[in-house]
Amino acid sequence: MQYTQQLAGRALIFASAMFAANFSVWTLYAVLGVEVREQLQLSATEYGILLAAPILSGALLRFPVGFLVEYFSAKKLILLQMLLLLPVLFLLPYIDSYRAHLLAGLWLGISGVSFVLGIRYISPWFERGRQGTAMGIFGAGNAGAAITLALAPAIQNWFGREWIGPAYGIGIFLMVLLFELFAPEETRYMRSRRKPDLRSHLTPLLQIRVWRYGLYYYFVFGSFLALLLWLPNYYLSVYQVSTPVAMTLTLLFVALSSSMRALGGWFADRYGSRTVNWSVFWTCLVCLFFLSYPPTSMTIHGVERDVHLNIEVGIELFTLLLLVIGIAQGFGRASVYKALHDNYPAHMGSVGGTVATIGALGGFTLPVLFGIAQDLVGIHSAAFMLLYGVLAFCMLVMYLAIKRENYMQRLQFAQQNNFLNDEGGETGALPDR
């Protein structure tokens, strides 16, 4: 038993490190994209599409990989996935056109499937009461984005931009060696519990609850991913800060949100995923209301004189509200996957992969929609208006789902206690006349 616990600890440590390394590659365009936009003079929409390219392929690949990992060793698939990243990372210095950057971004998206593989890799090692905490610690690998925001500019300053890709390639290769040598393979008992029946993995996807969890994850993860890609340019455009300051503030958002995921998993284990989700949604709704308000000048015609008001969210308040959202999203990402394991413990590859796909699609669609909204409306805060609408829809769906669930529970209770029996003598109903 103690030996198994030691293996579980090793599996969690190296899976978390692997996920952080891959996530740093997946979000590499958060740094590279800023310079590409300046060089190629991209519009907001073109810039959003560029940022979203790795997210798109990563999102789409998560779905089939979620099924694939139900049949094959998660460890071997993780090693293969990282090896497939190496060619494009070493080719990055030779890319100079917009189309080539888009194609390279789609290739880099392979790193996005590491989450699905990692979740399926670690979940068999922990019992139900520790799943939230374990997956929260693993999910803190989102901090890989913080690695990119800190490391990529440093590499660029020290060695030049052309060394960013090769440096990441060397890092991924080292992670391949470490994972191969020290991450444990699943035990014979774990292999015996695999279900090779495709139908058993497809059946849960017919339940609306799976897609509802996907919608929640679309906000708590998709918007987190979209914001970490969008924020550096937002700080540069709206507050005219320097590039290092923009990267530092974005880094703070990413690091704080990612580190909170582990704590969110513990809260979900202790208080329940639904309670955590409601708290997350209400907190984000309030913050997004203020972030959505554009800079406004107002003149009030008074009795003796006009009163001029300037309403604007300064950089200090903006960053504070953003950090609160990041903390809440970290809790939310952990609670969604805790709920998934509670309801679908034997389908963390297929169901977890489906939900992860929907969430990652948020990271693809939202930056594009941010750019379109900004180009159409002409307001920088249009991105937060859009997020406010997405969140309001998530909350409405969650409210209706809970209401329906409570109704079905009351109906089931009534049926079990013969409250709905047609025979009036047993139910106390009036007899037919």
Phi, psi of 300 (to 5 degrees): -105, 120
Q: Is residue 423 part of a domain?
A: no
Q: Is residue 428 part of a domain?
A: no
pLDDT at 103: 94
Banded model confidence at residue 427, pLDDT cuts 50, 70, 90? very low
Of residues 142 and 4, which shows the higher confidence score?
A: 142
Q: Is residue 115 part of a domain?
A: yes
Domain that holds residue 389: 2-417
Alpha-carbon distance of 358 to 386, in angstroms, equals 18
In angstroms and rounded to an integer, the radius of gyration of the C-alpha atoms of the chain is: 24
Question: pLDDT digits over 11-25, tens only?
Answer: 999 999 999 999 999
Q: Please, which residues have CB within 8 angstroms of residue 192's CB and are 6 or more apart in sequence?
A: none
Which of 36-45, 47-56, 306-315, 359-368 has the least mean pLDDT? 306-315
pTM of the model: 0.74
For 297-349, where are the alpha helices, taking DSSP H only? Answer: 315-343
* pLDDT higher than threshold 80 for residue 321: yes
Report how many domains make up the chain. Answer: 1
pLDDT at 66: 83
Q: Is residue 424 part of a domain?
A: no
Alpha-carbon distance of 230 to 223, in angstroms, equals 10
Q: Is residue 309 part of a domain?
A: yes
Do residues 228 and 254 make contact, with C-beta atoms less than 8 angstroms apart?
yes
Q: Is residue 425 part of a domain?
A: no
Question: pLDDT digits over 160-196, tens only?
Answer: 888 999 999 999 999 999 999 999 987 776 666 666 6
Q: Is residue 422 part of a domain?
A: no
pLDDT at 421: 57
CATH number at residue 187: 1.20.1250.20
Phi, psi of 166 (to 5 degrees): -60, -40
pLDDT at 425: 45
Alpha-carbon distance of 68 to 48, in angstroms, equals 31
Alpha-carbon distance of 392 to 253, in angstroms, equals 22
Alpha-carbon distance of 114 to 82, in angstroms, equals 8
Banded model confidence at residue 152, pLDDT cuts 50, 70, 90? confident
| Residue 129, H or E segment | none
Q: Is residue 427 part of a domain?
A: no
pLDDT at 428: 43
Q: In one letter, which amino acid is 264? A: G
